[in-house]
Amino acid sequence: MNLRRACEKDGAKMIQRVVTGLIEKTPGLVEGVEYKEGDQTVSVSAHMVIVCNGAETKWMGAELVVKHASKPLKKDKELVTAALKTSWGEALRYASDQLKKEKAFVQQVVPLHARVLKYVHEDLKKDRQVVLEAVKAHGDALQYASEDLKRDRTIVWEAVKSNGEALRYAPHVFMRDREIVLQAVKSHGDVLRYIYEDLQRNDREIILEVVRSHGDVLESVYKHFQKDREIVLEAVKSSGHALEYASKELRED
């Protein structure tokens, strides 16, 4: 079956109903959503669209529905939005340039997945309002922002507030910004390895905040923190296995 032909005329309408139905019927994974028209069947299983024509079957991710769609459908907001919700943002890659540069539309869809920002028009990656919307929903969208906006402290703050790991995409100056670092480690203790060494070595409050939610990080902190009773107790509350990383004195206490 020709996928491009399947996405034209009646086939296009059918596939659009399927992708939209994927969202409307269930917020999670879908099994058994099916539409029939003549000898052609379109069904959805998890995040895949299955197009069947007689004995021939084609599997398509929702983004491929957009990729193989006719030009009018590539700029169909309903179709592209529905496909974005089930393609981890990849569907925008194949949408029309018109949609990629339409700010109002982009603002609506950037909260759907971090990768959506990757495929918007370059001008919108420089748009502070658009990027703020993106990083508030998915902090790791920071990696797709313009270099200038990556240096915007408010944007970095919102990004690490949403996802502490976003700190890895920020300029190095923020690795030594104590407030930014504290905000980041609250949600993602692993970012400790990215921060300025002086903070890793000397800032007890940051280490305490990390182990409260990620006790196993005690393994990688400086040894004087492994001797700190309060830090070890908080780490063990978070993860019982953390005790093995405490100093010998505290393990035997």
Give the whole-angstrom CA distance, residue 92 versus residue 153: 28
Phi/psi of residue 61, nearest 5 degrees: -70, 155
Domain limits of the chain? 1-96
pLDDT digit string (tens) for 112-168?
999 999 999 999 999 999 999 999 999 999 999 999 999 999 999 999 999 999 999
pTM: 0.73
- How wide is the angle at C-alpha 61 spanned by C-alphas 58 and 63, nearest 5°? 125
Say if residue 231 is exposed, middle or buried (CB neighbours under 10 Å; 0-12, 13-18, 19+).
Answer: buried
pLDDT at 13 (0 to 100): 52
Give the whole-angstrom CA distance, residue 120 versus residue 133: 13
What region, left, alpha or beta, does residue 88 occupy, with left being phi > 0 and alpha being psi -120 to 50 degrees? left
pLDDT digit string (tens) for 79-109?
788 788 878 899 899 999 999 999 999 999 9
